Each structure stands twice: as C-alpha cells, then as structure tokens.
Amino acid sequence: MADKELLISQEGLKKLEAELEYLTTVKRREVAERIKTAREFGDISENSEYEDAKNEQAFIEGRIQTIEKMLRQARVVNDQDQDPNIVHIGSRVTVRDLEDQLEEDYFIVGATEADPMKNRISNESPVGKALLGARVGEEVEVSAPVGKIRLKVIKIS
C-alpha cells in the first residue's frame, strides 16, 4: 500500500526540515552525552539518569523517523498555482456562522501544520473539508459534535 501524500505549505516544509536538522545535529549529540555521563555513575540497572536519557533518545529517534517519512510523502502546495477566488490549502478565510452571526478567520493548512488554537485548521478537518473549493458568498454545512453548522464565506485571501 502506498503512503498517503502529505500536503504542506512551503513554510511548513521549512519548519519540518529545521526540526529534523536540529534533532539530528544537536539533540542526538546532547542525549548521547547524557547517556555517556549517566553510564559513568555505575550500575545502569538502577540509574534513573541513564533511564531518562535512553527514553529521550528513543523519543528523538522516533521523531526523526516520523519527520523523515513526512518529508518523503510531502507535496508542497504552491499558492501561486491556485485560483485566489476559491478556498484551498494556504487560503486565509473569513466565515460567518449563520446561526449566531459571529465571524471567524481560519488559515487552511495541511494536517501536519494544523493548530486550532491559532485558527490554523487542517484541510482534513470537518470545517476545512467543507470550506475547500468554496467561493466568497457561498454557504457550507459542517457536521460537528454539536450538530450541523452553516458557515458563509465572507473573504478569501
């Protein structure tokens, strides 16, 4: 089975590459030094410093593998190739909830870049999926845990 393509912005790609560089050049070395120092304390079977360092090493190696896989699967979405009048990955969208009339701004991003606390929503999320392909003035319906939500696209940038 082929790996799923990972849509990502140029900014997101740079962040992943920078994290990988940091983990492989800085953190690996730091953890190796911690393990070496902890071994010098003697019996490693009851050495919490050694155990902590080994656990951190495992976490770092796992994260490195994850990032490397993500980079292999990544396809950078280029904003210049997209119709600016249609919501796509990379769009900033202002929507109005048609029930309470409140407006909200979202930035549509690939799944790895999502951060709902900063209104960066994934193209795979219910709201993101519903908004993709919409134009200014169009209404979309989103299935949410609280029920159906109707949103109107106010602005795309």
> What is the strand order of the sheet 139-144 is part of?
120-122, 103-109, 92-97, 147-156, 139-144
pLDDT of residue 79: 64
Match domain 79-156 to its CATH number in 3.40.50.620, 3.40.50.300, 3.50.50.60, 3.10.50.30: 3.10.50.30
Mean pLDDT of the chain: 90
User: For the chain, where do the domains classified as CATH 3.10.50.30 start and end?
Assistant: 79-156
Q: Is 0.85 topped by the overall pTM?
A: no
Q: For the chain, how big is the Rg over CA atoms in Å?
A: 22
Q: Which residues pair with 149 in a beta bridge?
A: 142
- Within the chain, where are the H helices? 10-22, 28-39, 48-73, 126-131
For residue 76, what pLDDT band results from cuts at 50, 70 and 90?
confident
For residue 42, what pLDDT band results from cuts at 50, 70 and 90?
confident
What would the pLDDT profile of 12-24 be if each residue is shown by its tens digit?
A: 899 999 999 999 9
User: What are the Cα distances from residue 52, in Å, to 32, 35, 49, 73, 120?
Assistant: 12, 9, 5, 32, 34
Match domain 6-76 to its CATH number in 1.10.579.10, 1.10.287.180, 3.40.50.720, 3.20.20.140: 1.10.287.180
User: For the chain, where do the domains classified as CATH 1.10.287.180 start and end?
Assistant: 6-76
